[in-house]
Amino acid sequence: MGDTIRHSRDSISSASIEDVAAAAGVSTATVSRAVRGLPRVAPATREKVLEAARRLSYSAYSPASGLARGRSMTVGIMAPAQYSWFSSKVLHGAAEVLRERNYTLSILGPAPMGSAGQQSMPGVHIKHLGGLLLVGTAPSPDETKYVHERGIPAIAVGSRPANIPSVALDRPTAAMTAARHLLALGHRDIALLSGSRSMDDDDAGPLSRSLREVLSSAHPDLRLNVALVAADTVQFGREGFTRLWTAQERKPTAILCTSDELAIGVIFEARSRSVGVPSQLSVVGIDGHDYAAAFGLTTVEQQPHDQGRLAATMILNELEGQAGAIRSADAEHRLIPRESSGRVRG
């Protein structure tokens, strides 16, 4: 993934990870997970590690160490779809924070595809960075090791990889918000249209089970059907509507889509078949896409601009010596009711 660099521990570091581990009475692996905000660390253990790190003035991402390697004042952003509505807003938010604090932004260009078809990190550039934001992409375990070995703080925005902290929308919770909105409007025949990418999972089963478990106790007459499509695009939204509308004798009165682009596709196809929205079918999406208002789409809105600001702030705080500044966080969301959803009609 890039040239391997061997370097000794910086003599100017005030404490090592081994020192923190000894002080906290835990392993170095636990220290590494705790200060990076990764899961599977008990809250009490995490606090004990962070307290030891503060007491010893330890940072996993020493700014002095970064400066010695000539990269501490530059933060890279890798966004394979940097011109998408989501990525562009994340980039803008992150750039604001970097500019306010006199850091330089480096947008990483396209890199070769990895063996699994995922875009690989351009390691030759990464080794010179102080920090790294990954927008809509996730590193492989080898890439994560590459970043951590070089002391580069990294955080994902818009996705939830298992191996680094992230700032992202909790889509199951957002879907629950959308479902409750539809239930309040009287809908009981609801279809869930899920793009596998939007759920960070190839199976919509966990989401549909969660919706049924939480909602069916209060609404035993709830009927939830699920359709899974390959991607969150307008075209797959159109195809998803066709499957849901033509394959069942009992039509859904509402379709909950796991992305706004799917929902826009549903609206397109419904109207092309003279199905009234919302007179015959209510449609709700998730995201807050730039085009949602133009289509009158009810959506559960996230704020990618704020996610970019938060992720950049955490990286810079860590670089400037605040141990444990980088940790996973759920992005805020809110329901925006518009014309595409209405009360069920008998």
pLDDT tens digits in sequence order for the chain, 346 residues long? 333 222 333 333 457 788 888 999 998 778 877 876 666 788 899 889 888 888 887 766 544 444 444 446 889 998 877 788 999 999 999 999 999 998 999 888 655 434 443 445 555 567 678 899 999 888 878 878 888 777 788 999 998 888 889 999 998 899 999 999 999 999 999 999 998 655 444 445 677 777 877 777 778 888 888 888 988 999 999 999 999 999 877 899 999 999 999 999 999 999 999 999 999 999 999 999 999 999 999 999 999 999 999 999 999 998 887 878 889 999 999 999 999 999 998 6
In CATH, the number for domain 74-169+304-331 is: 3.40.50.2300
Every domain of the chain with CATH number 3.40.50.2300 lies at 74-169+304-331, 171-301
3-state secondary structure of 265: helix
Task: Give 334's contacts (C-beta < 8 A, 6+ positions apart).
Answer: 300, 301
The torsion angle over the Cα atoms of residues 225, 227, 232 and 235, rounded to 10 degrees, is: -120
3-state secondary structure of 203: coil
Query: For domain 171-301, is the CATH number 3.90.1280.10?
Result: no
Helix H segments across 36-160? 43-55, 63-68, 85-100, 123-126, 141-149
Place of tokens 């790190």: 53
Joined tokens for residue 45: 């253990």
Helix H segments across the chain? 17-24, 28-35, 43-55, 63-68, 85-100, 123-126, 141-149, 171-184, 205-216, 234-246, 260-272, 304-319
pTM, two decimal places: 0.75
Q: DSSP letter string over 63-93? A: HHHHHHTT-TTEEEEE-TTTTSHHHHHHHHH
Every domain of the chain with CATH number 1.10.260.40 lies at 17-60
Closest C-alpha among 194, 206, 167 to residue 86:
167
Continuous segment of H or E residues that includes residue 331:
strand 329-331
Fold of 17-60: 434 Repressor (Amino-terminal Domain) (1.10.260)
Structural contact between residues 114 and 92, judged by C-beta atoms closer than 8 angstroms: no
Place of tokens 């699920």: 226
